[in-house]
Amino acid sequence: MTRYDFEDWLRYRLSDLPQEEVDRIAAFYMDAIEARMEDGMTEEQAIYDLGEPEALLEEIRADLPRHVIYKPVHKSTRPANRKSRIMTLILVAAILGVALPALVMVLNFSPVRRSQIIYEAVSVPVEAPAISWEGDESEYTFDPSVHGLNKVEISAALGRVSVEPCDDNWVHVIGNDGSFDANVRGTTLYVENVNDDLLVRMPMAWYLRLSIDSDVGDVEIYEITAATLDVSADLGNIFLHNVTAAERINLAADVGNIEGSLKYRQEDYCIDVSVDLGQCNLTDSVNDGTPLTIAADLGSVKIAFED
């Protein structure tokens, strides 16, 4: 391993930390390696002298403020023994002379626990995203105030990307466990290597830039007001539901349609639309509104405006 490989590895393993902190730590260790080389060690000896990399990483993180999150480590299911329940229902109904449907309704509302999730406490640096798992799903939660986030950038190879608002002050990234990577680098939250359906919930208290690049799959955005909105779909449709952005909106679909509604009036947008083969209900306009650029190669464009 060269010292540059070591630096790349260190930066990658610390990529959930604020960029400034990563730069400081990387510079510190690079100087440590080079000082040892000046002292007569080879590059390999100098890196070895730093200590075992994983242990080193653990020591670096050990000093960061921590909080505890809970991760499910065991999920057991107690079968409800459906057949005997039905037989019991019939018998009780017969004895009581009660209408069976009424009895079924009552019993279905009674709490019968079908599964039990045992949680393990996991201590993580407070600057890292809070992660929780529920069954097969992962939810990564990011606090814009901690990370200084101003942008969310999503790159999806496969699957539907849905974006909706949430009431709390966090960005939530939810999808099947292992089907995406979510990391903060600089002031941007990168959601990458998405290969299954993904849900991103954006906090309405924060004004964030949103960029979505989808290869195969639809993009659906609900009730979001972003700072900027850039959406590109290669083999999928783009659906917008009462969406807007303050500075610009760019929508591009190679094969699919672009449909839905934007907030405010059509006159509030400066429209530049380009549709090659499909139909389009919009025409270009020149005014002082928010730039709205729409490009559809094969599909159609149908956008309504909801003031």
Partner 1 sequence: MDIQLKRGILEICVLKALEKQDSYGYQIIKDLSPAVTLSESTLYPILKRMQSAGCIAEYSVEHNGRLRKYYHLTPVGEGRIQDFLVEWEEVRRAYEYIRGE
The footprint of partner 1 (CB under 8 A) covers 25, 27-32, 34-36, 39, 50-51, 55-56, 59-60, 63
Please say which residue, 33 or 262, places its beta carbon nearer to partner 1. Answer: 33
User: Measured from the CB of residue 14, what is the shortest distance to partner 1 in angstroms?
Assistant: 12
User: Measured from the CB of residue 51, what is the shortest distance to partner 1 in angstroms?
Assistant: 6
Please say which residue, 36 or 172, places its beta carbon nearer to partner 1. Answer: 36
Please say which residue, 49 or 306, places its beta carbon nearer to partner 1. Answer: 49
Q: How far is CA 138 from the centre of its chain?
A: 10
Q: What CA–CA distance (Å, rounded) separates 228 from 154? A: 14
Helix (H, G, I), strand (E, B) or coil at 263: strand
Phi, psi for residue 10 in degrees, rounded to 5: -65, -45
Please say which residue, 60 or 156, places its beta carbon nearer to partner 1. Answer: 60
Can you read off the two tokens belonging to residue 246? 């303050």
C-alpha to C-alpha distances, 48 to 2, 57, 58, nearest whole angstrom: 11, 14, 16
Cα torsion angle, 57, 58, 62, 67, sign:
positive
Query: β-strand 66-77 against 115-125: which pairing, if any?
Result: antiparallel
Please say which residue, 3 or 147, places its beta carbon nearer to partner 1. Answer: 3
In terms of C-beta distances under 8 Å and separation of at least 24 residues, what long-range contacts does 277-284 make, across chains too?
none
Please say which residue, 32 or 270, places its beta carbon nearer to partner 1. Answer: 32
Please say which residue, 35 or 99, places its beta carbon nearer to partner 1. Answer: 35
Question: What residues pair up with 154 in beta bridges, in sequence order?
Answer: 191, 212
User: Measured from the CB of residue 38, what is the shortest distance to partner 1 in angstroms?
Assistant: 8
Q: What CA–CA distance (Å, rounded) separates 196 from 177? A: 10
Please say which residue, 39 or 267, places its beta carbon nearer to partner 1. Answer: 39
Please say which residue, 116 or 123, places its beta carbon nearer to partner 1. Answer: 123
User: Measured from the CB of residue 192, what is the shortest distance to partner 1 in angstroms?
Assistant: 29
Question: What residues pair up with 251 in beta bridges, in sequence order?
Answer: 231, 294
Rg of the chain taking only CA atoms, in angstroms: 26
User: Measured from the CB of residue 64, what is the shortest distance to partner 1 in angstroms?
Assistant: 9
Can you read off the two tokens belonging to residue 58? 């653990």
Q: What CA–CA distance (Å, rounded) separates 207 from 216? A: 28
294 Cβ contact list (under 8 Å, min separation 6): 251, 252, 258, 271, 272, 273, 274, 275, 280, 282, 301, 303
Helix (H, G, I), strand (E, B) or coil at 261: strand
